[in-house]
Structure 1
Amino acid sequence: MSYYPPPPSYPEQPGQPHHSWQAPPPPPVPPADPRREIRTLSAAYQRLRRVASLTALGYFVLFLLLSAYLPGLMTTKITGGLTIALMLGLIQLPVTLIAVAAYEKSARRRVDPLAEAVRLQADPTTEGARR
């Protein structure tokens, strides 16, 4: 019996005992289910679209509803010629830009890694080409 582990040229036998000086064997990797990953990617992308769309469109629908059903409130002057309706209309652009920025940030953080994993699973040869 030797005090040294076998040289790397010898393949490790599955029935060999594991010694404390050896690195633990890696856990078995279960085969990935491509349908599950695609469903996860689709759900993440769908949620992202809903949140961004409802943010931008929801604000606009709120503006329209206030204009239709509360015209007295919308014509209330804030200062000089600035009314509440004009102020809410001017705020629409920053709200839309914030929704777009949040969409992009969330897509890069949550959806893009899932898409990259699905892409690599479909064609593992493109791993280095994407970077």
Structure 2
Amino acid sequence: MSYDPSPSYRYPPRDTSPSYATHPWQPASPEPHPSQVPPRPGPGHHGDLRILRGAYRRQRRVATLTALGYFTLFLLLSAFAPSFMTSTVTDGLPTGLLLLLVQLPVTLLAIALYEHTARRNVDPLADRLRAQAELGAEREEAR
């Protein structure tokens, strides 16, 4: 009868990085010399990404609140103001039906607003970051 050890004995530890000490009494690897440390990105690099994320977040919020806000208003009026929704605007056209038909143009407006803010605010930031990244990659290749 052969003994089959558990899987924890058959496989190496999960952390296989070079700094992993196999025994607790082994000293940690020494810090690399400053000349061997790769340069960190400039301080403006992360700030630009933060600005891009903020612009994209505002863009999503405006478009979402435009479409969902109108739809929520329609639902609230349907639930809490049925007499208003059943009143007629013109001969035979109830207010609720008119507001429902306006939902499609409002949704198309939200899509147009999303595209407009993308072209005006988000895309120029993304293009600038992309150009900076490509320039940085070219500089790294030249080294």
Aligned ranges for residues 57-76 of structure 1 at < 5 Å? 57-76=68-87
> What is the rounded CA distance, in whole Å, between the counterparts of 1:36 and 1:78 in structure 2?
52
3-state SS of paired residue (2:111): helix
Q: Which residue of 1 aligns with 2:90?
A: 79
Greater CA radius of gyration, 1 or 2?
2
Q: TM-score, normalised by structure 1?
A: 0.69
What are the ranges of 5 or more consecutive residues in structure 1 without an aligned counterpart?
1-30, 127-131
> Amino acid of the residue matched to residue 75 of structure 1?
T
Tell me the alpha carbon deviations over residues 15-65 of structure 1, each in whole angstroms, 9 at most, x when there is no partner: xxxxxxxxxxxxxxxx66210000000000000100000000000000000
> Amino acid of the residue matched to residue 61 of structure 1?
T
| Identity rate, percent | 55
Aligned ranges for residues 12-91 of structure 1 at < 5 Å? 33-91=44-102
Q: Which residue of 1 aligns with 2:130?
A: 119
Q: Which residue of 1 aligns with 2:116?
A: 105
Q: In proportion to residue count, which structure has more helix?
A: 2
Q: Say how many residue pairs are matched.
A: 96
Q: Calculate the aligned-residue CA RMSD, in Å.
A: 1.6
> What is the rounded CA distance, in whole Å, between the counterparts of 2:113 and 2:43 in structure 1?
30
> What is the rounded CA distance, in whole Å, between the counterparts of 1:120 and 1:36 in structure 2?
16
Q: Which has the higher contact order (CA 8 A, sep 6+)?
A: 1
3-state SS of paired residue (1:62): helix
Tell me the alpha carbon deviations over residues 39-93 of structure 1, each in whole angstroms, 9 at most, x when there is no partner: 0000000001000000000000000000000001100012232100000000000
> What is the rounded CA distance, in whole Å, between the counterparts of 1:89 and 1:37 in structure 2?
41
Q: TM-score, normalised by structure 2?
A: 0.63
What are the ranges of 5 or more consecutive residues in structure 2 without an aligned counterpart?
1-41, 138-143
Report runs of 4+ in structure 1 exceeding 3 Å deviation.
Answer: none
> What is the rounded CA distance, in whole Å, between the counterparts of 2:116 and 2:50 in structure 1?
21
